[in-house]
Amino acid sequence: MKQKRSSFTGKIGFVLAAAGSAVGLGNIWRFPYLAAKYGGGIFLLVYIILAVTFGFALMCAEIALGRRTGKSAIAAFGYLNKKWSFVGWLVALVPVLILPYYSVIGGWITKYISVYLTGNGTAAAGEGFFADFTATTGEPIVWFLIFIGLTALVLLFDVSKGVEQVSKIMMPILILLTVGIAVYIVLLPGAYEGVKYYLMPDFSNFTIATVVAAMGQLFYSMSLAMGIMITYGSYMKKDISIEKSVRQIEVFDTGIAFLAGLMVIPAVFAFGEGGEASLGKGPGLMFVTLPKVFDSFKGGHIIGVAFFIMVFFAALTSSISLMETVISIVRDKTGLGRKSACGIVFAGSVIIGLPSALGFSIWDGIKPLGMDILTFFDFISNSVVMPIVAILTCIFIGYIVRPKQMINEIEAQGATFNQKKLFSVMIKYIAPVFIVLIFIFSLCEAFNIETLFGIQILK
């Protein structure tokens, strides 16, 4: 069935749509806890360097690949070279792995909305509230089902456009709110230590693990190495500058992550027991610290509800686009109708997501590679499958189709491409070698191999 591909209207349409997919829990929930855990300022520095080099090259490559072929990720590789269609399959695996645990965290957000709405904001600020909540067996599952159920309903009734409209209004408010909260926190007594930790790179905190985590975060946050940007590129009009769009998406995405870090990390120092002890808290960091902030001033609980509602919408648009990706894969491969495909994806995601939801309660003894189950899924997708996809994408573009073809695409209709050199060199040499290296290191980290060829990997 040949359908004409619809395209984004206007210049800003593309950037907004791509940024909408990029901005989500990755920026608000994931970035701050990784930055806290992996050395603060040094993590931020490494992340920014990676974003303007790797992130830039990869995102340009993916969007150009999509626009050039006019195909979604699954088909784009095979379209240019039959032998490479397997990459399409690997790409398809990523959202299948991410959607379930993403929805578990979406469930936590939903739970916190209800906590504030029922007037329990003070309780949420109490020590151990988050740990107690995730340690109950049933509750995280119920919230997970609510969140993923909502996502499925939106897709079933085809109202995702409506949700997008709503979140377009929410997004600027979320940014303002985040700025406001960050300013408030930074001015609190004790917060200065945290600001220093976050903004001043301390090179003694640098480990290979910092780079590994920053790289995984880059893929995750920018929705790279999973075909999303290829699909977006296939909808992009030829007269829009890919380079400029990528720069804008990058600044936007990194800016929001930066602000979220400025909100969460100094709060750890201002409110956390013993400050730095909380830095390694992991996935729960935001849920542990922010309620304390919201409980510390008059009207804070109202800000709390508002904040979690905005984050809820940012998360929902992301989960919708993740689920839609999986549904379209299922439909392409099985020819099923929209509703049945939606049902199958929903059921499958519930099954894959349950272990992540249970990993903090009855299954907290199960620690694959020493991680809780949710972190394990996060690790497999971001630190294993995505790097592999990224390496293959670089090799594919660098040596099979050649960067020239992508550069031509980016320069279509007289558009300029200032960083062509950077692009080619990144894609052909630096990115693949570097990603292979850090991929090896990340496996070492996971398997607790402390030194490799005499290089100290873990601290």
Interface map 51-90 toward ligand TRP (x if CB under 6 A): ----------------------------------------
Task: Supply the minimum distance, in Å, between the C-beta of residue 50 and ligand TRP.
Answer: 15
In whole angstroms, give the CA distance from residue 76 to residue 232: 12
Stretch of 222-230, 362-370, 393-401, 434-442 lying at the interface with ligand TRP (CB under 6 A): 222-230
Pick from 110, 207, 245, 318: which binds ligand TRP (CB under 6 A)?
318
Q: How many residues bind ligand TRP (CB under 6 A)?
A: 15
Residue carrying structure tokens 């995280």: 140
Position 26 contacts ligand TRP (CB under 6 A): yes
Position 27 contacts ligand TRP (CB under 6 A): yes
Pick from 207, 254, 321, 356: which binds ligand TRP (CB under 6 A)?
321
| Interacting positions 232-291 with ligand TRP (CB under 6 A) | none
Residue type, position 168, single letter: K
Pick from 16, 17, 22, 181: which binds ligand TRP (CB under 6 A)?
22
Q: 276 or 332, CB closer to ligand TRP?
A: 332
Pick from 103, 217, 221, 356: which binds ligand TRP (CB under 6 A)?
221
Pick from 25, 65, 96, 374: which binds ligand TRP (CB under 6 A)?
25
Q: 50 or 444, CB closer to ligand TRP?
A: 50
Which single residue brings its beta carbon nearest to ligand TRP? 26
Position 19 contacts ligand TRP (CB under 6 A): no
Stretch of 2-10, 17-25, 48-56, 232-240 lying at the interface with ligand TRP (CB under 6 A): 17-25
Task: Supply the minimum distance, in Å, between the C-beta of residue 28 and ligand TRP.
Answer: 8
CA-nearest of 263, 292, 113 to 187 is 263
Q: What are phi and psi of 334, to 5 degrees?
A: -115, -15
Distant-in-sequence, close-in-space partners of 123: CB < 8 Å, separation ≥ 6: 115, 129
Pick from 223, 231, 254, 356: which binds ligand TRP (CB under 6 A)?
223
Asked if 72 contacts 227 with a C-beta cutoff of 8 angstroms, the reply is yes
Position 228 contacts ligand TRP (CB under 6 A): yes
323, with CB counted inside 10 A (0-12, 13-18, 19+), is: buried
Q: 59 or 391, CB closer to ligand TRP?
A: 59
Stretch of 5-13, 133-141, 183-191, 219-227 lying at the interface with ligand TRP (CB under 6 A): 219-227
Position 401 contacts ligand TRP (CB under 6 A): no
Task: Supply the minimum distance, in Å, between the C-beta of residue 317 and ligand TRP.
Answer: 8
In whole angstroms, give the CA distance from residue 82 to residue 260: 43
Stretch of 103-111, 155-163, 215-223, 360-368 lying at the interface with ligand TRP (CB under 6 A): 215-223
Task: Supply the minimum distance, in Å, between the C-beta of residue 98 and ligand TRP.
Answer: 6
Task: Supply the minimum distance, in Å, between the C-beta of residue 22 and ligand TRP.
Answer: 5
Pick from 15, 16, 18, 24: which binds ligand TRP (CB under 6 A)?
24
In whole angstroms, give the CA distance from residue 409 to residue 237: 11
Position 231 contacts ligand TRP (CB under 6 A): no
Q: 103 or 318, CB closer to ligand TRP?
A: 318
Distant-in-sequence, close-in-space partners of 332: CB < 8 Å, separation ≥ 6: 74
| Residues making contact with ligand TRP (CB under 6 A) | 21-22, 24-27, 98, 220-221, 223, 226, 228, 318, 321-322
